[in-house]
Structure 1
Amino acid sequence: MTILERYIFKRAFVYAASSLTSLVLIVWIVQALSRIDVVKTSASAASNIFWIALMLLPDLFAGVLPFALLIGAIQALNSLNSDSERAVISAAGASQAVIARPIVALGLLGGLIMLLIGNVVGPASMSAFQNGIRSINADMITLFLKPGRFEQVQDGIVISIGDVNGATVESLVIADTRDPASDLTYFAREAKIIDEDASSLLLLFDGQLHRRNTADNSVSVIQFQTYAFDLAALRPATDNSWVRASERSTAALIWPDPNDGLYQERPHSFTEELTDRMTNWLFAIAFVLWAIVVAGQPSTNRQGTGPAMTVGLCGGLVLKAAGFVTLSQIEQGVFWVVISYLLPLAAIVLNSVLIWRNFDLAGWAPLQQATTALQDGYAALFGRRRAAGAAR
Structure 2
Amino acid sequence: MDATRNTVLEAWMAEHGHSSNSLADAVNGALGRLTGRTGGLDGSSIRSWKAGRVKWPKSATRKALEDVTGLPAVALGFVPRGRTSLTPPPQEGPDMKRRTLFGGIAAAAAAAAAPGTSPRRIGMSDVDRLRTRFAEVIASDHRHGGQLGIEQRAATLANEALNLQNAGSATQRVRSSLYACAASFRSSAMWAAIDGRRYDDAKGHMREAQGLAEMSGDQAIKFRIWSHTGTMYRHMGRPSDALAANDVARNLHITRRDPLFACLGHARQAATYGLTGDTAAVQRALGCAQDALERADPALARPVWMAAVSDGAELETLALAAHLRLGNFEQAETHAHQSLTLLRPQMRRDRAINITRLAAAQLGQGDIELAVATAVKVPSDIAAQHARVTRMLQEFGAALPATAAGSPAVRTWAEHAAAWRTTA
Q: TM-score, normalised by structure 1?
A: 0.26
Larger Rg: 1
As a proportion of its length, which structure holds more helix? 2
Higher relative strand content = 1
Larger RCO of the pair (alpha carbons < 8 Å, separation 6+): 1
Q: TM-score, normalised by structure 2?
A: 0.24
